[in-house]
Amino acid sequence: MELTGAEIVVRCLKEEGVDYVFGYPGGAILHVYDALYKQDAVKHILVRHEQGAAHAADGYARATGRPGVVLVTSGPGLTNTVTGIATAYLDSVPMVVICGQVPTKLIGNDAFQEVDSVGITRPCVKHNFLVKDVTQLAETIKKAFFIATTGRPGPVVVDLPKDVTAAKTEFNYPKKIKMRSYSPTVKGHTGQIRKAVELMVEAKRPMIYTGGGVILSDGSKELIELTRMLSFPITNTLMGLGAYPGTDPQFVGMLGMHGTYEANLAMHHCDVLVAIGARFDDRVTGDIAKFCPEARIIHVDIDPSSISKNVKVDIPIVGSVPNVLRTMIEVLRENNLKPNSDALAQWWKQIDEWRAVDSLRYQHSDTIIKPQFVLEKLYEVTNGQAIITSDVGQHQMWAAQYYHFDQPRQWINSGGLGTMGFGLPAAMGAKLAFPERDVVCVTGEGSIQMMLQELATMLQYHTPVKIVNLNNRYLGMVRQWQEFFYEKRYSMSYMEALPDFVKLAEAYGHVGMLIERPSDVENALRKALAIKDRTVFLDFLTDPEENVFPMIPAGGGQNELLLAGRDKMVSTHEEGMVLV
């Protein structure tokens, strides 16, 4: 039996087990929307902006580990998704974006709503396809899902001319696919793994540094086992939080620009660094010339192009995180290898001294809401079990610092691209995936307004999330940098005209709350979380002058941190520490 290209698209989505498609219709993709109408296996979520579709699919993918799917029309439909595609690309999130295109005979004619979708997205996708023959459509979609979900995951775009969706052919969906030019290495080199293990057990000041690759590859179980076997200290990147339990004594906190004092100092002074599923991002390394100056570096990653890209490593291991870590565990057990216990005890003693600095301590207040306090209370009232999405800025860093993530796929935020507006649609995607779980979007008054229209989508599809708006009336991270590095010239960082967020939430059919006093914070959070069937927008008026600490200034090394002052303003150097 012959099917149209549009019907083939829908059948392919069914074959891939797709539950939700996030999208927005338009002329070039209407045949596919008509095919969706005739079935009920694949549910469509009608967003209010195509960027919201990409972020919602992204949130769904990060929460579940399954690919997010986006369906948009040609021209502006596709261009509106590009920010969401780039967000997924930089954070290695599996996503398939199917976009309409003008008929093949009009491609290149500047037809109505025509853009070069392949050319525009090429820099920010793992791969993209332009389908010109309906007989190739099913195989192409199979390839798209295969590429998006294997190796280092990422977004794949399928550009679909309207005439291809109307043409007919026999439907035959391949069960498996092989691509001669694409074959990710999954198993690590045994010799390299043995060398790495030998170096690890000889270390006197070891450190494990892990990133989002552990979560993406579902390698948390193996990571926990290996880390506890070795009794090594471990730190996570912003994208890696939850890969190792944040409440575990061996966890020394997040590292990097806004990481803890103990994590950054341990990195700086370690003699063996085990990097797993991390890419040595500039927000982690600081000045590369100053990065881990005494360390020999082991790097485990499935993407060979990431190894020695930013930092030269001594023992590279290409392979999937779970496979490599399982082999490391086997080598340790089979050879009864143990780390240097005396040296490790001294190393932990030093780390505990750095911990005593209490770098996340802040000045409490009875009169003005401190944003850190809101996050501490949020962690408390949710018992640390909520899925937390965030936008980008100070609130993102406070969420990472004060909400202790014990599980993978619990922390969903835009790390690589740093996309304001990400948090709200991502929360919607996560809530669709896990309707029984509390999902909380931590945001700021700047970020929330960038995708605010998705409040309508959330009402239509009943995704009752809780929105924690840390409203300091500033673009907070911009203001912080202007305070530190631009002599307090607050150029365009003050949000002079803001809406009444309570009334705005109510206008969209949700519940709004205004919280102005610290004494009301906990009760407001508990009340909001008790309302299980409604989205609740909590507008917390927070201290406009609060800054995120610790902070490594641009160009600084990991031992050059700014810390919040204690009882008075001081300026002193101790292991590179600066109290301000």
Active-site annotation holder among 113, 136, 407, 453: 113
- Per the document, the length of the chain is 580
Question: Cα dihedral sign for 102, 105, 111, 117?
Answer: positive
Kindly state the tokens that stand for 89.
């690309």
50 as an active site residue: the answer is yes
With beta carbons less than 8 A apart as the criterion, state whether 458 and 535 touch: yes
112 as an active site residue: the answer is yes
CA dist., res. 245 & res. 258, Å (int): 19
CA dist., res. 124 & res. 539, Å (int): 35
Tokens 């079990």 correspond to what residue? 385
Kindly state the tokens that stand for 500.
């009444």
CA dist., res. 169 & res. 171, Å (int): 6
Residue 538, H or E segment: strand 536-541
Active-site annotation holder among 207, 458, 477, 513: 477
Strand 168-170 relative to strand 2-4, pairing:
antiparallel
What type of residue sits at position 316? Answer: P
Q: CB within 8 A of 524, min separation 6: which ones?
A: 513, 515, 538, 540
Kindly state the tokens that stand for 276.
């797993």
477 as an active site residue: the answer is yes
258, 231, 567, 215: which is closest to 393 by C-alpha? 258
CA dist., res. 323 & res. 193, Å (int): 11
Tokens 């369906």 correspond to what residue? 71
Residue 398, H or E segment: helix 394-402
End-to-end CA distance of the chain: 73
DSSP 11-69: HHHHHTT--EEEEE--GGGHHHHHHHHT-SSSEEEE-SSHHHHHHHHHHHHHHHSSPEE
377 as an active site residue: the answer is no
Q: Where are the alpha helices (DSSP H) in 403-520?
A: 423-433, 454-460, 476-485, 501-507
CA dist., res. 515 & res. 377, Å (int): 14
With beta carbons less than 8 A apart as the criterion, state whether 358 and 260 touch: no
Q: Roughly what angle, to the nearest 10 degrees, separates helices 5-15 and 137-149?
A: 30
State the CB neighbour count (10 A cutoff) for residue 342: 9
Active-site annotation holder among 112, 170, 330, 503: 112
Active-site annotation holder among 7, 16, 22, 50: 50
With beta carbons less than 8 A apart as the criterion, state whether 170 and 300 touch: no
What value, to the nearest 5°, has the Cα angle with vertex 268 and ends 266 and 273?
75
Tokens 């009882």 correspond to what residue? 567
With beta carbons less than 8 A apart as the criterion, state whether 126 and 119 touch: no
Active-site annotation holder among 143, 162, 431, 466: 162
CA dist., res. 220 & res. 243, Å (int): 5
Kindly state the tokens that stand for 444.
């700021």
449 as an active site residue: the answer is no
Which residues have a catalytic role annotated? 50, 112-113, 162, 477
